[in-house]
Structure 1
Amino acid sequence: MSEERVTYAELNLPNSRKQKGKRRRGNKKRGFPCHIVVLSLGVMCVILLLAITGIRSIYKDSDSFQGKWHCCGKSCYYFSKEEKTWEESKKSCEDLSSSLIKIDNKAEQNFIQSKISYNYWTGLHKIGANHPWKWLDGTPLSQMVNFQQSLRDAKCGHLKPSTLSTIDCQKPFHYICEKMFTGPCY
């Protein structure tokens, strides 16, 4: 029989299992930098959150109208932050060189109602049970507005998001002041 010689050789492959434990520190395989991905996603989330907050404040938010004057066409409107009785609201508007809002037509009523989420005092009132509804300037209530007399004894008018209605003058509501303006809408 012939004698065969068996030779053994050890393969040193760079990614072999045996070599993983024997790797030198300087020859370390670089993995995907996950911390950079996590940091990038976090920054993008913060930017998106700020953008959404900014966009929300630009579009209609009824609270954004409170405490500020908004002008359109011939009128500027002030939507109060505080709630007061009708008489107190009337006085507050006078202190702002204006008066409680007078709604002339359905278009103006729709415009104002699109800006509100609460009940607001208007300049609509009547002196007694047998007297007609009038605005503070003495103008009678127009048939062109959506008006609903809900309480017979009520002497003050308030604007709800859906209709102009009557109620007891002592209730605390927000109020809308109006003054004349000649300029562009903003």
Structure 2
Amino acid sequence: MEGSRSETSAAEASEEIIYTSVKFSPLRAKAAQEKRAPCLWPAVVRGLAIGFGILSISLAIALIWKMSDTHPRCPEQWVAYRGSCYSFSKEKKDWNSSQESCWAKGAHLLVISDAWEMDLFKSIQTECFWIGLRNSPGSGWIWEDGSELNGIKVLSNSPVQCCGVLMKGQLQASSCEFSAAWICEKSLR
């Protein structure tokens, strides 16, 4: 029996469970982590954000550039205002020659179509400019586009003054043979 007892205690000893405790120190864990390769995520995320920002700005600029190319523009030396382009001549001609000069540019002599446009051109306090206004016998003052002049008086000294000029902020009648500068107008559309 003794032999079997020693075998039993050896078996019991081998079945003992050994416990051990492991303590992790946060400082040591951090130090161990720093010894490994550094984490690149913050740098990658920052780089991606900058890249997407630059791409977004580039696309916005390209879109604005494209939109500006699709919108009609006034020719050089012309002034844009509320959907129209205006050209102020530097030379002087009679009314008919001024009209032909505008037509050659794909435009017409100025036709003042509303109060805003009238106020704008009345504010011009310079010499006279031919505009697209004529006195038609029996019909009165007619704009070049066929519309009637309404609610505005044209200053006239003589019945032979049949062409309209804009002079010192007022509409005035003049002989059509008089030499004056002129204002051409064309639509942006």
Q: Fold match, TM over 0.5?
A: yes
Separation (CA, whole Å) in 2 of partners of 1:106 and 1:119: 20
Tell me how far 1:116 sits from its aligned partner.
4.9
Separation (CA, whole Å) in 1 of partners of 2:144 and 2:180: 18
Separation (CA, whole Å) in 1 of partners of 2:120 and 2:177: 26
Separation (CA, whole Å) in 2 of partners of 1:170 and 1:84: 8
Alignment correspondent of 2:180: 173
Separation (CA, whole Å) in 1 of partners of 2:88 and 2:102: 10
Amino acid paired to 2:156: Q
Separation (CA, whole Å) in 1 of partners of 2:170 and 2:114: 13
Tell me how far 1:157 sits from its aligned partner.
0.3
CA contact (8 A) 1:105 1:142 kept: no
Amino acid paired to 2:149: L
Is 2:110 aligned against 1:101?
yes
Aligned residues, how many?
Answer: 114
Tell me how far 1:74 sits from its aligned partner.
1.8
Separation (CA, whole Å) in 2 of partners of 1:146 and 1:126: 12
| Counterpart selection for 1:78 from 74, 79, 87 | 87
Is 2:139 aligned against 1:149?
no
Distance 1:81 1:132, change over 3 A: same
| Cα deviations by residue, 1:62-112 (Å, 9 ceiling, x for unpaired) | xxxxx9210011211100010000000000000110000001233212212
Q: Which runs of 4+ in 1 moved over 6 A?
A: none
TM-score by length of 2: 0.55
Identical aligned pairs, as a percentage? 30
> RMSD across aligned C-alpha pairs, in angstroms?
1.8
Tell me how far 1:141 sits from its aligned partner.
0.6
| Cα deviations by residue, 1:111-161 (Å, 9 ceiling, x for unpaired) | 123345110000000233x33110111111121x45323332211000012
TM-score by length of 1: 0.56
CA contact (8 A) 1:106 1:146 kept: no
Runs of 5+ consecutive residues of structure 2 not aligned to the other structure = 1-75
Computing the radius of gyration over CA atoms, which structure comes out larger, 1 or 2?
2
Alignment correspondent of 2:62: none
Amino acid paired to 1:175: W
Amino acid paired to 1:108: E
Alignment correspondent of 1:133: 141
| Counterpart selection for 1:68 from 74, 77, 82 | 77
Runs of 5+ consecutive residues of structure 1 not aligned to the other structure = 1-66
Higher helix proportion (structure 1 or 2): 2
